[in-house]
Amino acid sequence: MDGLSERPFRSLVRKMGSAMSYTEFINAIDVMISIQRVQKKIAYHEFERPVTFQIFDDDPDRILHAARQLIPFHPDIIDLNLGCSARHVASRGAGAGLLPHPHKVAEILRNLVKNLTVPVTAKIRLGWDDHNRNYLDIARIVEDCGAQLIAVHGRTKAQGYTGQADWDAIAKIKSMLHIPVIANGDVQTVADIHRIQNHTGCDGVMIGRAALFNPWIFSYRDRWEVSQTEVKSWIDAHLNEMIAFHGIEEGLILFRKYLKRLLAPYQIESKDLLPLLTVSELDIFKNHLDLLFKTALTQKS
Closest CA to 79 of 47, 36, 120: 120
Instruction: Tell me whether residue 84 is one of the annotated catalytic residues.
Output: yes
Question: Does 65 share its domain with 198?
Answer: yes
Residue 40 and residue 112 in one domain: yes
Taking only the tens place, the pLDDT of each residue in 26-43 is 999 999 999 888 999 999
User: In this predicted structure, what is the pLDDT of residue 298?
Assistant: 59
pLDDT in tens, 227-268: 999 999 999 999 999 999 999 999 999 999 999 999 999 888
Distance, in Å, from the CA atom of 10 to the CA atom of 25, rounded to the nearest integer, reads: 13
Residue 1 lies in a domain: no
270 pLDDT exceeds 90? no
**181: Cβ contacts below 8 Å, ≥ 6 apart:** 149, 150, 151, 152, 170, 173, 174, 200, 202, 203
Q: Are 143 and 198 in contact (CB under 8 A)?
A: no
pLDDT value of position 294: 85
Domain assignment present for residue 83? The answer is yes
* Residue 110: pLDDT over 50: yes
Same domain? 83 vs 145: yes
Answer whether residue 194 shows pLDDT above 50. yes
Give the CA distances from residue 218 to residues 17, 92, 161, 206, 221, in Å, rounded to whole numbers and listed in that order: 5, 34, 21, 10, 7
Query: Any bridge partners for residue 123, and if so which?
Result: 81, 151
Examine the fold and report which residue of 174, 203, 220 is the final residue of a domain before the chain moves on: 220
pLDDT for position 97: 97
Name the domain count of the chain: 2
Its domain, for residue 255, covers 227-300
When pLDDT is cut at 50, 70 and 90, the band that residue 301 belongs to is very low
CATH code where residue 261 lies: 1.10.1200
145 and 239 belong to one structural domain: no
CATH number at residue 93: 3.20.20.70
Residue 2, in any domain of the structure: no
**Active-site hit among 78, 84, 173, 183:** 84
> Quick one: pLDDT at residue 269?
85
How high is the pLDDT of residue 272? 84
Contact status, residue 156 vs residue 188, Cβ threshold 8 Å:
no
Same domain, 30 and 161: yes
Residue pLDDT, tens place only, 121-145: 999 999 999 999 999 999 999 999 9
Of 167, 201, 220, the domain-final residue: 220
The pLDDT of residue 300 is above 60 = no
Query: Chain-centre distance of CA 220, in angstroms?
Result: 18
Residue 119 has pLDDT above 60, yes or no: yes
